[in-house]
Structure 1
Amino acid sequence: MPALPLARYRFTFRMAEALRLPDYAGSLLRGQFGAALRRTSCMTRATTCDGCPLRTTCPYPAIFEAPAPAAHALQNFSHIPNPYVIEPPPLGTRAIAAGESLQFGLVLFGRALEHLPLISFALQRAAEGGLGRERAHGTLESLDVQDGNGTTFTCIWQAGDSAIDAHDTQVRLDPAPSSTPPARLDLHLHTPLRLQHQGQPVRPHALTPRKLIADLLRRITLLAEFHADRPGLLADAPALVRHADTLGHHPQLRWHDWSRYSSRQQREMTLGGALGTWTLEGELTPLLPWLRLGEWLHVGKNATLGMGRYVLSS
Structure 2
Amino acid sequence: MNQHLDVAEQWSQAPQTSTDFYAHSNISVYEISATPQRAMHLPVHPGSMLRGAFGHALLDRYCLCSDTAEHDPSCIYQHLFEGQRADSQDGIPALVISPVDAGRTLQHGELFRFRLTLIGLSDILAQAVLSALNTALARGLGDKQVPCHVHSIRSVLSQVNLAYRGVRVSLTTPWLVKHRGKQLNADQLRLHDVIIALAQRQRKVARHFGLSFDLPDNHTLLALADRLPCTVSLREVSWLRQSSRQGRKHPLRGVMGFMETGRIGQEDADILGSVLANGVALHGGGKTSFGLGGLAVSSL
Fold-level match, TM-score > 0.5? yes
Q: Percent identity?
A: 27
1:63 and 2:80 aligned: yes
The Cα offsets for residues 55-91 of structure 1, whole Å up to 9 and x where unpaired, read as 232221001111134xxxxxx5612432322122423
Residue aligning to 1:154 = none
Letter in 2 for 1:142: S
Residue aligning to 1:250 = 231
Cα–Cα, structure 1 residues 242 and 261, in superposed 2: closer, same or farther, change >3 Å? same
What SS does the corresponding residue of 1:85 show, helix, strand or coil?
strand
5+ residue gaps in structure 2? 1-21
> Is residue 41–residue 60 contact of structure 1 (8 Å, CA) maintained in 2?
yes
Residue aligning to 2:48 = 27
CA distance in 2: counterparts of 1:148 and 1:280, whole angstroms: 21
Letter in 2 for 1:243: L
Residue aligning to 1:139 = 149
Letter in 1 for 2:38: E
What SS does the corresponding residue of 1:81 show, helix, strand or coil?
coil
Residue aligning to 2:14 = none
1:302 and 2:287 aligned: yes
Cα–Cα, structure 1 residues 87 and 3, in superposed 2: closer, same or farther, change >3 Å? closer
CA distance in 2: counterparts of 1:85 and 1:138, whole angstroms: 20
What SS does the corresponding residue of 2:101 show, helix, strand or coil?
coil
Letter in 2 for 1:234: L
What SS does the corresponding residue of 2:204 show, helix, strand or coil?
helix
Cα–Cα, structure 1 residues 241 and 63, in superposed 2: closer, same or farther, change >3 Å? farther
TM-score by length of structure 1 reads 0.77
CA distance in 1: counterparts of 2:41 and 2:117, whole angstroms: 24
Q: CA RMSD in A?
A: 2.6
Letter in 1 for 2:296: V
Q: Which moved more, 1:13-22 or 1:111-120?
A: 111-120
Residue aligning to 1:78 = 89
Which structure: larger Rg? 2
1:211 and 2:193 aligned: yes
> Is residue 86–residue 305 contact of structure 1 (8 Å, CA) maintained in 2?
yes
The Cα offsets for residues 24-71 of structure 1, whole Å up to 9 and x where unpaired, read as 211100111111111111224x35241x4xx232221001111134xx
> Is residue 231–residue 261 contact of structure 2 (8 Å, CA) maintained in 1?
yes
Residue 266 of structure 1 and its aligned partner are, at CA, apart by 4.6
Letter in 2 for 1:139: H
Residue aligning to 1:90 = 101
> Is residue 84–residue 92 contact of structure 2 (8 Å, CA) maintained in 1?
no
Q: Which residue of the other structure, out of 165, 168, 172, is the alignment partner of 1:186?
A: 168
The Cα offsets for residues 81-130 of structure 1, whole Å up to 9 and x where unpaired, read as 3232212242322x221222343211112237652222122222222222
CA distance in 2: counterparts of 1:148 and 1:20, whole angstroms: 29
1:259 and 2:240 aligned: yes
CA distance in 1: counterparts of 2:23 and 2:30, whole angstroms: 21
TM-score by length of structure 2 reads 0.80
Alignment length (residue pairs): 274
